[in-house]
Structure 1
């Protein structure tokens, strides 16, 4: 694992030239009907249409997919129908291949939602990429990249993702007439960044705790005003799945067996009682790549990217502490820097569905009650998509989230509860989140919850049906030790909750140096003013 990402490019939000198309088939979902479901999408007709516009699609291949590792490693559990269906080798399959296609029951149980991933290229013989109709008169409305755009610069210089996405979404009626049942298209969103960094949840690197007189465990206490039934609840018979970063079980158990780990009671508990489901990553998220996707800010609020492979078990430790009777499983969907994409999230959600249906070969069965924890942000916020350089309108933005909504709605209809982070964008260190008052003073702007947490609320757009809020999606914000809203936390909304998350640390010196210093062991340890208001939890990696 690389220790830190230096000289990072600018912010990006999706994988270059990858598109995700959501379909709704009338075919019933079962292991035996996968071929019929895919055939009902009439993907060749879709590709023929795109070819007339100068584009062509190819399905994902093995190298683009999340995979269960070799079965001889006992720390890496569960099996994968998707792995077997993906085919062999890295040759690009045709559009009708099952590779990169994730199938979900529609909420009414009368059909199948298909979330399909494709590479998109200019059609053979196409010299230039045609522009499409859009918001900006006299220029390409979906152009990205280039210096000074506020995006990833050269990374998007040859990107046609948003062109093709909006082209498809503008012709949904025509597709319906030729029996191509498209709901919408979207980019392969990044939960992190590719060859760059994007906004994500972690607002500061982890800070080491002074080991002098360390107790083996810091207990979470519920507020006194919480009703008695919750005070006594321990999560018994509940399963909680933490979709996050994850180190291999062998690495974590080795730390637990060390002298330092032996004194950490919570770590010992996690090693004995938490299930590790470690997925191998596709090439674009590979931890061995120095240009892998990364997220994370330093203590001055600058985007730097730092190792956070323990974030998942940190979250699991909190859950284990307050709900010791719950069965907890950590599932790796992000790389060691917290970078991920829509492919990994859909892969994990489909596996959850298959295990919940006790499908043969899907892995250990799951039963209700089932909670899925998502400490991640799934799409860019409206503030990004509706401003330069994208300048999308409300209807276009609505369509760009339909695929993620379909998958989550499918699982909630089957009884799954989602607990999702509201986001950490509302902070004084970020000038874009400040409001200047008439007297010249500034106050932080409290942003609304990010997606998928925001799926808890109704959403409408011109020309679109109202997308009903999902009652079993619970947005979560943060409060500090005084019980007030943490300065960085987005507002979880009226149906959300807030729980202890600590407050931003005060660095010493308060003014940031001109160049971000390297973290230890390559640089001087950052000084943090006392007292520190932060959650204490498990950390097993050798680096801070």
Structure 2
């Protein structure tokens, strides 16, 4: 580790799963409210909830007026406190963000207490006409202050420096190639499809400036994205400050898999670059919903996804793929012990426990189901939490949300030998099987058959890498399901451009890229049995 790396990477003091004092309440409405009545509606719901919570010494405050905003006045101001979705239903949904306050200031985080009271009295609230379908903490969202479990499997490292046979001024670099012909590619490069990448992002000016740096001028992918950005024709757009971010939430791991945070604004750019490589004419919109440390919360995610739903309803987006190289919440097996603080429950209480666990994420499930109902293809990374399980000879961890939802196409990771990556979570949770695996690299010091690091080569603009190495080419070695997901998103764009529906795309891609004969009438063994998914085989090679 170089001397400067200690200034780039940090070790968190504590692990969090949600923003303390903040919660989200999802309410079913009788109709879509008018723009001029939405603030009145939000306040009426807050007053009704406060009338109930007062007996427990709890108060809900308007979002952006308490908590973090009172402690840090420089935080971005809140312009919207609620988001409407489920526009395909006669009775839409509204997600309202609140601060939660206990009258006793020594109560550190009253969110679990407030949610427990609400979840235990849903029938009472319904009798007043208030139909609460979900109440949940403001879960952290991470490419996985606060620190959240998630992020790439490893920090990025410089890609191998290879000699190029091309002239000194010729563009060169790494390309992804689909190895099997079973997935038909669109002859027009998926030009009629928008791929929205919700992730981190560098400022557009930083990307344009990087393309002029002498050491990066031969990077074909960087030059292509910079040209697309300059054209301003929608082929590549960056929404950098539409959803303002703060740097309170961070994520990441070091080479040993231990918690370490570092700047990763290029995470989303690398994801977008992989999509451009595989789908050369798709329209790509890089939307910054995570901060420069790869962290965020539900607020920006709800804002971006509900805005996309409105665009689909209006007809301004016809064919949409949403790439989510991010994770939300603890995995489904850990959630009960985190939420209930390792309590054991008698059998008579299990139904109530299951109801509570469903309620603290039902709003998220409904949000993704809403987008799916409008025809969006949602591709989500399964996560990188299984290194410890691999070392112990155990099965991989289950996919994280939103990859584990039935409305999404989950993507796990295999290495260059098409064996499960050591860190890879499973692609599916039975009985669902809408998941697949593709190349996402492997653990630190793992090598490919060529003797190079077993990693995905993607874009990287920062002058220094997290471990302090110099960036001399604009190419980085990344590892994680974050970088497997964009390959699948790009292939999904190819199929949608040919008229495939999102549901049929999921079925086709989940089948993998090889034809197989079923030994049994009920089905066949998946390509990667431990990941519970088939494999789409791709290679990445260096060339012109």
Equivalent pair of 1:202/1:296 in contact (CA under 8 Å): yes
Equivalent pair of 1:296/1:306 in contact (CA under 8 Å): yes
Equivalent pair of 2:142/2:151 in contact (CA under 8 Å): no
Using a 3 Å threshold, how does the CA distance of structure 1 residues 54 and 37 change in structure 2: closer, same or farther?
closer
Give the structure with the larger strand fraction: 2
Tell me the residue number matched to 1:329: 285
Question: Which residues of 2 match residues 245-394 of structure 1 at below 5 A?
Answer: 245-273=200-228, 274-279=236-241, 286-287=246-247, 292-358=248-314, 366-387=316-337, 390-391=341-342, 393-394=353-354
SS in 2 for 1:443: coil
| 1:243 aligned onto 2:184 | no
Q: 1:234 aligns with which of 181, 184, 189?
A: 189
> How much has 1:201 moved relative to structure 2?
3.3
Equivalent pair of 2:139/2:328 in contact (CA under 8 Å): yes
> How much has 1:412 moved relative to structure 2?
1.6
| 1:119 aligned onto 2:122 | no
Tell me the residue number matched to 2:177: 221
Tell me the residue number matched to 1:484: 419
Using a 3 Å threshold, how does the CA distance of structure 1 residues 230 and 62 change in structure 2: closer, same or farther?
farther
- The size of the alignment, in residue pairs, is 428
Using a 3 Å threshold, how does the CA distance of structure 1 residues 233 and 21 change in structure 2: closer, same or farther?
same
Q: What is the root-mean-square deviation in Å for CA atoms of aligned residues? A: 3.1
SS in 1 for 2:273: helix
> How much has 1:221 moved relative to structure 2?
0.8
SS in 1 for 2:274: helix
Structure 1: how far apart are the matches of 2:146 and 2:28?
A: 34
TM-score between the two structures when normalised by the length of structure 2: 0.72
**Greater relative contact order (CA < 8 Å, ≥ 6 in sequence):** 2
Q: 1:419 aligns with which of 361, 379, 393?
A: 379
Using a 3 Å threshold, how does the CA distance of structure 1 residues 253 and 128 change in structure 2: closer, same or farther?
closer
Tell me the residue number matched to 2:120: 170
Extract unaligned runs of 5+ from structure 2: 1-5, 165-170, 229-235, 344-352, 466-544
Tell me the residue number matched to 2:527: none
SS in 2 for 1:61: coil
Equivalent pair of 2:144/2:326 in contact (CA under 8 Å): no
Using a 3 Å threshold, how does the CA distance of structure 1 residues 35 and 117 change in structure 2: closer, same or farther?
closer
Tell me the residue number matched to 2:463: 542
Using a 3 Å threshold, how does the CA distance of structure 1 residues 239 and 62 change in structure 2: closer, same or farther?
farther
Using a 3 Å threshold, how does the CA distance of structure 1 residues 161 and 92 change in structure 2: closer, same or farther?
farther
Q: 1:20 aligns with which of 24, 27, 34?
A: 24
Equivalent pair of 1:382/1:397 in contact (CA under 8 Å): no
Question: Bigger shift: 215-224 or 308-317?
Answer: 215-224
Structure 1: how far apart are the matches of 2:214 and 2:200?
A: 25
Using a 3 Å threshold, how does the CA distance of structure 1 residues 91 and 328 change in structure 2: closer, same or farther?
closer
Equivalent pair of 2:75/2:246 in contact (CA under 8 Å): no
Tell me the residue number matched to 1:519: none
Tell me the residue number matched to 1:55: 58
Structure 2: how far apart are the matches of 1:117 and 1:191?
A: 15
Equivalent pair of 1:246/1:330 in contact (CA under 8 Å): yes
Structure 2: how far apart are the matches of 1:331 and 1:92?
A: 17
Tell me the residue number matched to 2:346: none
Structure 2: how far apart are the matches of 1:112 and 1:326?
A: 31
> How much has 1:329 moved relative to structure 2?
0.6
Structure 2: how far apart are the matches of 1:171 and 1:38?
A: 20
Question: Which residues of 2 match residues 503-514 of structure 1 at below 5 A?
Answer: 503-506=442-445
Using a 3 Å threshold, how does the CA distance of structure 1 residues 3 and 445 change in structure 2: closer, same or farther?
farther
Tell me the residue number matched to 2:530: none
> How much has 1:202 moved relative to structure 2?
0.6
Structure 1: how far apart are the matches of 2:180 and 2:119?
A: 51
> How much has 1:177 moved relative to structure 2?
0.4
Structure 1: how far apart are the matches of 2:326 and 2:179?
A: 26
| 1:500 aligned onto 2:503 | no
Equivalent pair of 2:143/2:152 in contact (CA under 8 Å): no
| 1:8 aligned onto 2:12 | yes
Tell me the residue number matched to 1:523: none
Post-superposition CA distance 1:259-282 (Å, at most 9, x none): 122111100111222211002666
Structure 2: how far apart are the matches of 1:194 and 1:413?
A: 26
Q: 1:184 aligns with which of 127, 134, 137?
A: 134
Question: Which residues of 2 match residues 58-73 of structure 1 at below 5 A?
Answer: 58-61=61-64
Structure 2: how far apart are the matches of 1:204 and 1:90?
A: 32
Using a 3 Å threshold, how does the CA distance of structure 1 residues 29 and 543 change in structure 2: closer, same or farther?
farther
Tell me the residue number matched to 1:399: 359
Structure 2: how far apart are the matches of 1:212 and 1:416?
A: 39
SS in 2 for 1:340: strand
| 1:197 aligned onto 2:147 | yes
SS in 2 for 1:382: coil
| 1:43 aligned onto 2:5 | no
Structure 2: how far apart are the matches of 1:3 and 1:286?
A: 20
